[in-house]
C-alpha cells in the first residue's frame, strides 16, 4: 500500500505585501493587512511498500507508480481553498483552481487569517476525463454545475468552488457519467493553515482505489454477460476468453482514503443459452482499498445444478475469487 504525500512549499516574497482591501488612501486609522504568496509544490513520495503492486505484471494493466500516468494520459489537480477570518469559527470559500502543472499552484493569503486546503488528484487510466477545449465536467464542476477550465491559476471567489471533489461521479464522455471510473484518485485536506507559521506544509494525499481482474471462460453455448458497478463484460461461445483487469476509483472518496475501507458490490451473471433459456446468478464481491480482487468465472451445461464460490486471500494486496456455475 502506498501513501502519497503532497508537499506544499510555502514561499514568501522577500517583502510582505501591504494590502488595503477597501482601496482607500493609507491613513493612521486605516487597517493594513499583510499578505504572502503561497506556492504549492505537489511532490509524490513513497512512504510505505507493499508485497505486490495493485495490478500485477501478469495482468493486462501494467504496474505503475500509484499516480504516474501513462504516456498521453492526463493528470489533474483540483484545489479548493477556504478562509477563516480572525474571530470567526467558520471557513468560507476563498478560491478554487484546476491545474495540469503543479508548479503553477500559487495563491495569496492574508497572514492574520487561517486557511483550509482540499485537493483531489486524478490520473487517467483505462478511462479518460471528458473535456471540451480543456473545460472539464464531473468531478470538477463549479458553481451551478458548470465545467471548470484548466487555467493553472486560482479563481478568487466567495460564492463558488468545485463542490463535487468528494463524490465519485466522473464524466468519461459528454453524456456518460461513471461512479467507479477506471482511473486513479487521491484526496487530501489540511485545516488551520497559518501562512506565517512555516515555509513548508505537508498534506497527505491518499489513494481511493481498488483493483479488479476478471478471468472468464466462454460458455459452451450462447452468451455470458457479467454486470458490476455499472460496467459489463460479455463472452460468446467460441471466443478465446477474457483475462484482464483495471484500477478503479471508489465512489465515496473521503471514506475510501481510510485504512481498512471496503465496499460490498453486487456481481450479476446472465447466461443466455442457444435455445433462449436464460440463467441468472448473483454474488457479492468485497472490494478493499488498495487490494486487487481476482475473479474467475466458469459456466458449464447442461448438467446438474451446482454453484461453487471460493474466496482466497492470496496476498495482502491480492484476493482470489472463483465462481464455477454448472447448469
pLDDT tens per residue, range 56-97: 333 333 333 446 667 779 999 999 999 999 999 999 999 999
Q: pTM score, two decimals? A: 0.80
**Confidence check: pLDDT of 199 > 90:** no
**Confidence check: pLDDT of 43 > 70:** no
**Confidence check: pLDDT of 52 > 50:** no
DSSP per position, 79-147 = EEEEEE-TT--S-EEEEEEEES-GGG-EEEEETTSEEEEEEEEEEESSS---EETTEE-TTS-BTTTB-
pLDDT tens per residue, range 93-142: 999 999 999 888 888 889 999 999 999 999 999 999 999 999 999 999 99
For residue 162, the model assigns a pLDDT of: 98
**Confidence check: pLDDT of 176 > 50:** yes
For residue 196, the model assigns a pLDDT of: 87
The answer to whether 170 and 181 are in contact (CB under 8 A) is yes
Please report, in angstroms and rounded to a whole number, the separation of the first and last CA atoms in the chain. 40
pLDDT range class, residue 21, cuts 50, 70, 90: very low
DSSP per position, 198-219 = -SEEEEEEEE-EEEEEEEEPPP
Residue with cell 479488479: 212
| pLDDT cut 70: percent of the chain above it | 70
* Max avg pLDDT among 40-44, 46-50, 273-277: 273-277
Segments making up each domain of the chain, as ranges: 4-20+34-207, 209-326
**Confidence check: pLDDT of 240 > 70:** yes
pLDDT range class, residue 197, cuts 50, 70, 90: confident
The pairing of strands 75-84 and 92-99 is: antiparallel
**Confidence check: pLDDT of 216 > 70:** yes
Amino acid at each position: 500500500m502506498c501513501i502519497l504525500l503532497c508537499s506544499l512549499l510555502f514561499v514568501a516574497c522577500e517583502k510582505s505585501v501591504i494590502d488595503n482591501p477597501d482601496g482607500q488612501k493609507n491613513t493612521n486609522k486605516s487597517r493594513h493587512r499583510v499578505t504572502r504568496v503561497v506556492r504549492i509544490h505537489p511532490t509524490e513520495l513513497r512512504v510505505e511498500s507493499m508485497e505486490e503492486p495493485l495490478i500485477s505484471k501478469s495482468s493486462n494493466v501494467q504496474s505503475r507508480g500509484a499516480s504516474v500516468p501513462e504516456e498521453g494520459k492526463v493528470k489533474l489537480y483540483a484545489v479548493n481553498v477556504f478562509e477563516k477570518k480572525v474571530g470567526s469559527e467558520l471557513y468560507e470559500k476563498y478560491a478554487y483552481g484546476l491545474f495540469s502543472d503543479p508548479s503553477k499552484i500559487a495563491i495569496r493569503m492574508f497572514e492574520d487569517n487561517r486557511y483550509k486546503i482540499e485537493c483531489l488528484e486524478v490520473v487517467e487510466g483505462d478511462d479518460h476525463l471528458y473535456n471540451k477545449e480543456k473545460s472539464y465536467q464531473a468531478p470538477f464542476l463549479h458553481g451551478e454545475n458548470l465545467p471548470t477550465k484548466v487555467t493553472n491559476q486560482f479563481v478568487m471567489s466567495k460564492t463558488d468552488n468545485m463542490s463535487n471533489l468528494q463524490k465519485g461521479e466522473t464524466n468519461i464522455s459528454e453524456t456518460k457519467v461513471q461512479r467507479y471510473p477506471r482511473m486513479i484518485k487521491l484526496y487530501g485536506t489540511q485545516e488551520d493553515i497559518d501562512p506565517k507559521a512555516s515555509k513548508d506544509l505537508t498534506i497527505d494525499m491518499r489513494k481511493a482505489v481498488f483493483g479488479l481482474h476478471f478471468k472468464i471462460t466462454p460458455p459452451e453455448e450462447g452468451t455470458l454477460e457479467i454486470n458490476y458497478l455499472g460496467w459489463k463484460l460479455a463472452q460468446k461461445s467460441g471466443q478465446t476468453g477474457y483475462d484482464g483487469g483495471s484500477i478503479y476509483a471508489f465512489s465515496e472518496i473521503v471514506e475510501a482514503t481510510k485504512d481498512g475501507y471496503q465496499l460490498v458490490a453486487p456481481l450479476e451473471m446472465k447466461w443466455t443459452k442457444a435455445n433462449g433459456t436464460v440463467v441468472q446468478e448473483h454474488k457479492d464481491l468485497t472490494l478493499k482499498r488498495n487490494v486487487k480482487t481476482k475473479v474467475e468465472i466458469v459456466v458449464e451445461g447442461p448438467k446438474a445444478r451446482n454453484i461453487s464460490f471460493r474466496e482466497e486471500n492470496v496476498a495482502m494486496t491480492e484476493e482470489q475469487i472463483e465462481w464455477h456455475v454448472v447448469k
